[in-house]
Structure 1
Amino acid sequence: MRKLLIMFLFIALLLTGCWSAQELSDITLATAMAIDTADDGFTMTLQVLNPNEIAGDQRSDKSTISTYSASGNTVFEANRRLTQALPRRVHLSHLQLIVFGEELAKEGIGRTLDYLIRDHELRTDFTITIAQKITGRELISVLTPLEETPATKITSSIESSEDFWAPTKEVKLDELIESVTSEGKEAILTGIHVTGDPEAGQKKTNTQQTVPTAQIYLDGIGVFKGDKLQGWMNEQESKGFNYITDNVSNTLSWVECNDEGRLSLEITDSKTTAQGDYQNGDPVINIKVDVQANIGEVECAIDLNDPHELQLIQQKAEERTNQILKASIMKAQEFGSDIFGFGNMIKRAKPKEWEKVKENWSTIFPNLQVNVQSKVEMKQSGMINKPIYDTIKKKNQTEE
């Protein structure tokens, strides 16, 4: 009986929980991290929560977040130096966003990646972006009106834009590491900029105005070569990147009508097939994009019941899609950066030939032949077949 009692006591000791638990009053939760260049290495800025303003029963005029910065020779050192400013130990397990300053991105982000993937507190499901024309510190310090934390606002905007507009892409740490280190594929990151006065955007009043003094906007895709930012794609070129990499689920397009109006299309589905091949001893990429679309808005006189008219719209939509694809490819080739993974496609299709060209891929890619083909299938014309614009135009002509 005594042995049984001792055994139960021993098991009870092993099952005791919360031995490493920490009270919220003893820690600080970081939601965003910015990394910028500094004279002695790096500057790290953390956006931390004010728990009383987020979940407290009584709110005050204080901000929901605060930002703290410190510099060091390495990112790890900068992180530890933050303890000189922060009143509590920082926990990074709730990190939603990491922002690289544009200057750091141009110099190279490689030295920061080891810390990000090595630290046991960091999960790898945070979103990574670049601050355009400002520092990352300034970006994550701007207060936003609809979301209590800027980190939530930015990550939600990237997800929404990727799902319904398609000129941006949500990139996590694992994908970034793979793109930076793999053969035949380069990295991209979505860019973010601030309109208005970033300094004024740090004040609580920025969230209390109908039109905020400073607002955060997404702005295209940044193209990398190795770990260095080469430049930016505009909105249409960024959308072309997502078409080519089969990352478009819903977006909009438009075509010109014969009477100088426009007809808008809602892209409801897109499927891309891209394959590597060799022709006449040279590598070639063949891309086919199949698009399903609905008519979203008509600003011209057109009979949507006429199959011939619909066929013309379809042809124009296919031509426009091809233009978007080609513009994206040309911009990437200008930067000499294979962000589409064409090298990987050649490697999978022709592994022996790839071994011969992989060392010179950076010089081959800018002149690589890429064939694009788009097919647009019209599904629905909406609730009406006769455009309102046509009726209004005829009425105006009669009254004149």
Structure 2
Amino acid sequence: MKIILRLFISLIICLSLSGCWSAKELTDITLATALAIDKDENNEYKVTIQVVNPSEVAGDQISSRSSVATYSATGRTMFEAVRKITKISPRKVHLSHLQILVYGEEFAREGIGETLDFLIRDHGFRTDFTIAIAKGLTAEDLVSVLTPLEKIPAQKIASSIESSQDNWAPSKEVLLNELIESVSSEGKDAILTGIYVQGDPDEGKSMQNVESADAPAKVRLDAIGVFSGDKLLGWLNEDQSKGFNYITNNISSTVGWVNCGDGDRTITLEVINSETKIKGSIKNGKPEINLDLNIAVNVADVECSIDLTNTEERNEVEKKLEQKTVDLINDSVSAAKEYESDIFGFGAAIRRSDPQEWKNVKDNWATLFPETDVKANVTVQIEQSGMITTPIYNDIKKKTKEGN
């Protein structure tokens, strides 16, 4: 009996160590890193995928072959177009490692809603890929550009959006679930970061683009695209996009500067923390939004004569940055009002604070939003002034006077 029991246990252990029965070898599949969506001249979906060449990515050896390839196909539906790529791809395409999805600007202006059902329904997708818009060109042209430094262009674009969001702030990393929620929910409209090509996109498709010190075509991040429903309406500029991120509590670090001293000299400040609280209400039938921002900064660069140990002078710098931030916010709100697009979620804030009143205004929110009174209260506090208390500029100015 003991022998039979031992054999049974051994069999169970062997079965558990048999590996993944459904696993696919890399030699049998094609891994897509980027997916581009456009429409062709017949108004059919045109899908372009950027796929990895495993032999070029795996090793450190330099060759004359590209580390990625692109394949395109058209179809009446998204699913049909993706499947038709197998006609030209040597293997079945797997989308589970997708890093970025790009809509062409023209396509985004017509509406992206019909593509979202396929993206969320297909079990082959994960939802942690970044979504963006190819500004001023087709998505196909954008994902076909080869990038220096990064072997996989899709990885470069996704990393740039994340890095810009964390350290500069005019861009925003938007994943699939967030996009669907913004497109479909009440009281908030969607945004997506724009990407463009500096130079000739056709030159960017050749290996010369990665072999040159100064690439003929460079992929660059632009500002934020504004949606109404599922349609792209237009663009915020860089300052307006930064204002959007301040309002939506999406600033982890960025840089600001204010004038100091005489002339056009400046003091540069690094934002190390920013917290925003939004309170919405309706008073006398008119929506009101109050924004409370608390911003902590470090002094990064001083080009004027100033004593940072002096409380009054520190307070003056803080007040200047407070006003400049208020101006950024007001400019961003004004731009969104022109588009009649509540990208900040002000309607959602009113819904949370007063659900009953929201029911009375939600059907007319598109027309009420531009009339919303937005008040921003910004508090800036300098945390650290750096390793030195007296700017080097003071010593230079003093030496210059002595030399004269």
- TM-score (ref. length: structure 1): 0.95
Residue 20 of structure 1: CA displacement?
2.2
Residue 17 of structure 1: CA displacement?
4.0
8 Å Cα contact 1:266/1:293 also seen in 2? yes
For residues 320 and 64 of structure 2, what CA distance do their matches in structure 1 show? 54
**Residue 56 to residue 304, structure 1, CA distance change in 2 (3 Å):** closer
In the alignment, what sits opposite 1:19?
21
For residues 21 and 383 of structure 1, what CA distance do their matches in structure 2 show? 55
In the alignment, what sits opposite 2:129?
126
In the alignment, what sits opposite 1:272?
276
In the alignment, what sits opposite 1:354?
358
> Tell me, what secondary structure is at the counterpart of 1:144?
coil
**Residue 57 to residue 390, structure 1, CA distance change in 2 (3 Å):** closer
For residues 60 and 374 of structure 2, what CA distance do their matches in structure 1 show? 60
State yes or no: 1:389 paired with 2:372.
no
> Tell me, what secondary structure is at the counterpart of 1:185?
coil
For residues 8 and 116 of structure 2, what CA distance do their matches in structure 1 show? 48
Amino acid at match of 1:44: V
For residues 148 and 71 of structure 1, what CA distance do their matches in structure 2 show? 27
Amino acid at match of 1:388: I
Residue 13 of structure 1: CA displacement?
9.5
Segment of structure 1 superposing worse, 252-261 or 125-134: 252-261
In the alignment, what sits opposite 2:335?
331
When the two chains are superposed, the root-mean-square deviation of aligned CA atoms in Å is 2.0
Amino acid at match of 2:114: R
In the alignment, what sits opposite 1:215?
218
In the alignment, what sits opposite 1:283?
287
Question: Residues 94-130 of structure 1, C-alpha deviation per residue, up to 9 Å, x if partnerless?
Answer: 1111000000010000011111111111000000000
> Tell me, what secondary structure is at the counterpart of 1:321?
helix
> Tell me, what secondary structure is at the counterpart of 1:184?
coil
> Tell me, what secondary structure is at the counterpart of 2:298?
strand
8 Å Cα contact 2:286/2:371 also seen in 1? no
In the alignment, what sits opposite 1:104?
107
* Pick aligned residue for 2:77 from 58, 74, 79: 74
- May I ask how many residue pairs the two structures share in their alignment? 400
For residues 391 and 7 of structure 2, what CA distance do their matches in structure 1 show? 85
State yes or no: 1:340 paired with 2:331.
no
For residues 20 and 128 of structure 2, what CA distance do their matches in structure 1 show? 25
Structure 2 regions of 5+ residues with no counterpart? Answer: none
Residue 8 of structure 1: CA displacement?
7.5
1:92-171 mapped onto 2 (5 Å cutoff) = 92-171=95-174
For residues 149 and 168 of structure 2, what CA distance do their matches in structure 1 show? 20
Amino acid at match of 1:295: V
State yes or no: 1:195 paired with 2:182.
no
For residues 325 and 223 of structure 1, what CA distance do their matches in structure 2 show? 16
Amino acid at match of 2:329: L
8 Å Cα contact 2:52/2:68 also seen in 1? yes
Residue 84 of structure 1: CA displacement?
1.2
Amino acid at match of 1:312: E
In the alignment, what sits opposite 1:41?
44
Question: Residues 42-64 of structure 1, C-alpha deviation per residue, up to 9 Å, x if partnerless?
Answer: 11000000010011475421000
Residue 215 of structure 1: CA displacement?
0.8
Residue 204 of structure 1: CA displacement?
1.3
8 Å Cα contact 1:36/1:135 also seen in 2? yes
Task: Percent identity, please.
Answer: 54
For residues 403 and 203 of structure 2, what CA distance do their matches in structure 1 show? 52
Residue 211 of structure 1: CA displacement?
1.2
State yes or no: 1:31 paired with 2:36.
no
**Residue 73 to residue 392, structure 1, CA distance change in 2 (3 Å):** same
For residues 310 and 9 of structure 1, what CA distance do their matches in structure 2 show? 74
In the alignment, what sits opposite 2:318?
314
In the alignment, what sits opposite 1:62?
65
For residues 59 and 252 of structure 2, what CA distance do their matches in structure 1 show? 39
Residue 4 of structure 1: CA displacement?
7.5
Segment of structure 1 superposing worse, 296-305 or 312-321: 296-305
> Tell me, what secondary structure is at the counterpart of 2:319?
helix
Amino acid at match of 2:53: N
> Tell me, what secondary structure is at the counterpart of 1:258?
coil
Structure 1 regions of 5+ residues with no counterpart? Answer: none
For residues 349 and 321 of structure 1, what CA distance do their matches in structure 2 show? 26
Residue 394 of structure 1: CA displacement?
3.7
Segment of structure 1 superposing worse, 12-21 or 343-352: 12-21
* Pick aligned residue for 1:86 from 86, 89, 93: 89
For residues 64 and 283 of structure 2, what CA distance do their matches in structure 1 show? 67
Question: Residues 13-48 of structure 1, C-alpha deviation per residue, up to 9 Å, x if partnerless?
Answer: 975543323221111111000001112321100000
In the alignment, what sits opposite 1:249?
252
- TM-score (ref. length: structure 2): 0.94
Residue 257 of structure 1: CA displacement?
1.5
8 Å Cα contact 2:318/2:382 also seen in 1? yes
Residue 295 of structure 1: CA displacement?
1.1
